[in-house]
Amino acid sequence: MAAIRSFELARSLETAGCQTRIVATTPALYFLDPAAVAAFRARGPGMLSVDADEWPGAGYTRGDPVGHIELRRWAEVLVVAPLDANTLAKFALGLADNYLTCLFRAWDFAKPVVLAPAMNTLMWQSPATLRHLRILLEDHAGSPPPAGWLLEEAPSVFAHHAPRIVLVPPRSRRLACGDIGQGAMAQVEAITAAVAAWASHEPRDD
């Protein structure tokens, strides 16, 4: 449900001097205002891409551009906000079944990735979430991470052992479902600050 803040985040990043393009999964479109989607797409080709845009032609012709590869070449930072439980699992397992997961799978991890999880509290606290974060860390760690690290340690562990994957943890509040607890996407300002830190070549480690 944090997807409704996608355009707010894009505006914040643009105010900070970034150029932005949005990739929206099919489930995310359910939460986005169709008028806002149309307005953002009207800004130009590729400004907002959905799964159907990956292969827009009637059929493939050799030499046709591959959307997620072209976007990977263009982008300097990949921001996944919100990162839901399902997409986190796909990232960890290497699944590539939509535009976003193909982009992540094909990403050049010499360039940073900013992940801002958002999900129900019990989904965030699920053992599967920690397991998937540990897999991501192991795949991208530049130095051996400590054994048995806990969920609340994830941002600092990533910062020290896989600094190009920046984890901006969810915050505690009343969630859209009515539950109260940790799981709401971080404030837009915090995500923008994480991106700006990389833009100024000053990775955050807090």
Lookup: tokens for 105: 């799978």
Q: Which residues of 7-43 are buried (b: 16+ CB within 10 A; e: fewer)?
A: bebbebbeeeebebbbbbbeebeeebeeeebeebbee
- Is 0.85 surpassed by the pTM of this model? yes
**Whether residue 202 has pLDDT greater than 70:** no
201 is catalytic: no
Q: What is the pLDDT of residues 132-149, one digit of tens each?
A: 999 999 999 988 899 999
Task: Provide the mean pLDDT of the chain.
Answer: 91
pLDDT above 70 as % of the chain: 96
Comparing C-alpha atoms, which of 34, 15, 16, 14 is closest to residue 24?
Answer: 34
* 201 — pLDDT class (breaks 50, 70, 90): low
Q: Of 102, 160, 177, 201, which one is the catalytic site residue?
A: 177
Q: Of 18, 68, 132, 140, which one is the catalytic site residue?
A: 68
Q: Can you give the pLDDT at residue 204?
A: 47
Q: Can you give the pLDDT at residue 178?
A: 81
Would you kindly state where each structural domain of the chain is located, as residue ranges? 2-199
Question: In CATH, which of 3.40.50.1950, 3.40.50.150, 2.40.30.10, 3.40.50.720 is domain 2-199?
Answer: 3.40.50.1950
**Whether residue 206 has pLDDT greater than 50:** no
The SS3 of residue 159 is: helix
177 is catalytic: yes
CB under 8 Å to 195, separation ≥6 — which residues? 13, 16, 18, 77, 79, 114
Q: What is the pLDDT of residues 79-112, one digit of tens each?
A: 999 999 999 999 999 999 999 999 999 999 999 9
CA distance 135 to 84: 16
Q: What is the pLDDT of residues 30-65, one digit of tens each?
A: 989 999 999 999 999 889 999 988 887 777 778 788
